[in-house]
């Protein structure tokens, strides 16, 4: 057997031949909107010889709308042709070709403003190219998001503050033509994405780097560069209430950049079933109705990223499908799906799902624990069966090669992985000699990995 050095980069795959009693409720945040029929037909276009052309252009406008999203009908974008959609308000744009249009389930990203310019770019050699717009999802202005007396705030004052955690995004789920909601979603060290089970809808988007909301609280969306279509067939979820409320999912590469969230965000959270910290942090995109705000604005922080930390009230394990953490940490509607973070670390304990906190020491907010067997299995097998995990940065003491207790050396992972199995390695430099004498797939889901003595 020969010692080898390897360098594994972003997603590269190498084939080697050698409650306490408390009243709780789920926390999605509804997003006011409606759908309008709006027909646009480009007509059939053929590409010109050795020339790329803009064969069709039209502006779609819904006066006073704060945001728009297009739903397409029949389309043929051929091999190289594409749609270019641009917001006239902020210049944000999205490019959709025949592949990404399918990934987006025949819909566009979410755009700020009341007018979109749609262009059909036809490539030379492509024939019979066309598109149809059938409907527009139209946003409505928001107000009165916070129900006074909500049990999500653990004391009289909402102590959440604005934050910039690159691993945590806003999850948008569509449940009907006139029904949409927002939760929180985030990146894990295995490359899986997590949110709450009651946040799994029909057409879903995960977005990062969210701008402030308007002064009346109306949501603004991230640039389409930072919006990712959820892969419908990837969604695995349980929506069975406190202790069994979770979603594991995957996303397609961004239609503009071709990149995945870990490549752009450069951040992720590790997961643990062993930590029991004194304090817990919850970060997410809850509603906010603060007439002053820390900047003197009105509702600028509504549905934007905020965070708070507070006492851990402990974990309850009532069975393999009934495990949850409780904590006195301020959250609001829309925080659902966010990570339950061990304060002061990059470890997470589960998924925030329920409110139940009140003033004067009453109640607690709660989230599904990674002790939930189905959730644990869904995360462990997210990249496939027979996966062994390696992460030198994980603080776990007990190691068994699972995503919650990964090996800290590649050599241990190589020994543990089955013939033809998969080795998942968290980003970093693993300066160690290594011998491989069996077939395996090696993946680096969240960053560049260097293996070997250099």
Spatial distance between the Cα atoms of 246 and 237, rounded to a whole number of angstroms: 5
Architecture of domain 25-29+155-373: Beta Barrel (2.40)
Return the pLDDT at 364: 96
Instruction: Report CA 396 to chain centroid distance, whole Å.
Output: 25
Contact status, residue 309 vs residue 344, Cβ threshold 8 Å: no
Spell out the residues 6+ positions from residue 236 whose beta carbon is closer than 8 angstroms to its own. Answer: 247, 248, 249, 378
All CATH 2.40.10.120 domain ranges in the chain, comma separated: 25-29+155-373
Side-chain-facing half-sphere of 393: CA atoms under 13 Å: 16
Backbone angles phi, psi at 197, to 5 degrees: -65, -35
Helix (H), strand (E) at residue 103: helix 98-103
- The stretch 206-213 carries a mean pLDDT of 96
Spatial distance between the Cα atoms of 249 and 202, rounded to a whole number of angstroms: 13
Return the pLDDT at 290: 62
CATH class of 33-139: mainly beta
Contact status, residue 66 vs residue 140, Cβ threshold 8 Å: yes
All CATH 2.60.120.290 domain ranges in the chain, comma separated: 33-139
Return the pLDDT at 145: 47
Return the pLDDT at 10: 45
Record the tokens describing residue 170, joined without a space. Answer: 């806003």
Q: What is the per-residue pLDDT across 55-104, written as a single tens digit (0 to 9) for each?
A: 999 999 999 999 999 999 999 999 999 999 999 999 999 999 999 999 99
Spatial distance between the Cα atoms of 410 and 433, rounded to a whole number of angstroms: 9
Nearest Cα residue to 442 out of 13, 2, 10: 13
In which band, very low, low, confident or very high, does the pLDDT at 293 lie, cut at 50, 70 and 90?
A: very low
Between 169 and 298, where is the model more confident? 169
């Amino acid at each position: 057997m020969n010692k080898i050095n390897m360098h594994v980069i972003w997603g590269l795959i190498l084939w080697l031949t050698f409650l306490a009693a408390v009243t709780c409720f789920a926390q999605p945040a509804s997003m006011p909107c409606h759908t309008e029929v709006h027909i646009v037909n480009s007509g059939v276009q053929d590409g010109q010889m050795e020339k790329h052309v803009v064969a069709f252009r039209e502006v779609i406008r819904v006066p006073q709308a704060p945001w728009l999203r297009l739903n397409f009908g029949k389309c043929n974008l051929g091999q190289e042709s594409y749609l270019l959609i641009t917001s006239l308000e902020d210049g944000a744009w999205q490019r959709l070709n025949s592949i990404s249009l399918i990934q987006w389930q025949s819909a566009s990203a979410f755009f700020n403003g009341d007018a979109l310019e749609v262009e059909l770019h036809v490539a030379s050699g492509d024939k019979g190219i066309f598109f149809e717009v059938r409907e527009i999802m139209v946003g409505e202005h928001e107000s009165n998001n916070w129900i006074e007396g909500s049990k999500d705030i653990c004391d009289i004052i909402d102590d959440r503050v604005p934050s910039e955690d690159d691993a945590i995004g806003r999850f948008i789920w569509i449940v009907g033509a006139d029904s949409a909601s927002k939760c929180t979603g985030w990146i894990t060290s295995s490359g899986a994405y997590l949110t709450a089970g009651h946040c799994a809808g029909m057409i879903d988007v995960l977005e990062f780097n969210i701008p402030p909301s308007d002064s009346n609280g109306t949501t603004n969306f991230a640039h389409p560069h930072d919006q990712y279509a959820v892969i419908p067939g990837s969604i695995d979820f349980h929506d069975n209430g406190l202790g069994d409320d979770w979603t594991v999912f995957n996303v397609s590469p961004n239609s503009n950049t071709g990149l995945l969230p870990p490549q752009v965000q450069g951040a992720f959270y590790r997961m643990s079933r062993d930590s029991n910290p004194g304090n817990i942090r919850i970060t997410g995109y809850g509603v906010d109705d603060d007439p002053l705000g820390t900047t003197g604005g009105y509702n600028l922080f509504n549905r934007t990223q905020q965070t708070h930390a507070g006492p851990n009230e402990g974990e309850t394990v009532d069975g393999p499908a009934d495990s949850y953490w409780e904590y006195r940490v301020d959250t609001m509607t829309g925080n659902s799906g966010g990570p339950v973070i061990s304060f002061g670390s990059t470890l997470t304990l589960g998924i925030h799902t329920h409110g139940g906190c009140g003033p004067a020491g009453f109640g607690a907010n709660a989230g599904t624990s990674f002790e939930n067997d189905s959730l644990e299995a869904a995360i462990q097998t997210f990249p496939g069966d027979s996966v062994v995990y390696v992460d030198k940065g994980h603080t776990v003491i007990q190691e068994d090669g699972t995503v919650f207790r990964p090996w800290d050396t590649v050599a241990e992972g190589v020994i543990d992985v089955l013939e033809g199995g998969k080795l998942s390695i968290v980003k970093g430099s693993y300066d160690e000699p290594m011998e491989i004498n069996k077939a395996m797939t090696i993946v680096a889901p969240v960053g560049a990995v260097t293996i070997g003595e250099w």
